[in-house]
């Protein structure tokens, strides 16, 4: 997982659960480590719902995109 992508998602690298690491790796593979591409994706998705984290919103999009 790219540290730049984790930082862009607002994650603390020393305080991640296994599921968060897996989500971050999937997102990193999707954007190929490009933080600018991640920012474009987040702008496309808009703001998160109340109580939802940015990593969860982006991961849900990436997962659905990969299934299609």
How many beta carbons lie within 10 A of that of residue 24, not counting itself? 22
Q: What is the pLDDT of residue 2?
A: 72
Closest CA relative to residue 54, chosen from 5, 9, 24, 14: 9
- The whole-number average pLDDT for the span 10-34 is 87
* Of 55, 35, 30, the residue nearest 45 (C-alpha): 55
Total number of residues shown for the chain: 68
Tens of pLDDT, residue by residue over 24-64, are 899 999 999 899 999 999 999 999 999 999 999 999 999 99
- Look up the pTM and report it: 0.86
CA distance linking residue 60 with residue 30, whole number of Å? 12
């Amino acid at each position: 997982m790219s540290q730049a992508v984790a930082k862009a998602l607002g994650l603390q690298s020393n305080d991640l659960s296994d599921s968060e690491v897996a989500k971050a790796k999937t997102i990193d593979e999707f954007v190929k480590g490009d933080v600018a591409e991640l920012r474009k994706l987040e702008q496309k998705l808009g703001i998160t719902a109340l109580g939802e984290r940015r990593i969860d919103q982006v991961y849900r999009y990436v997962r659905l995109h990969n299934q299609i």
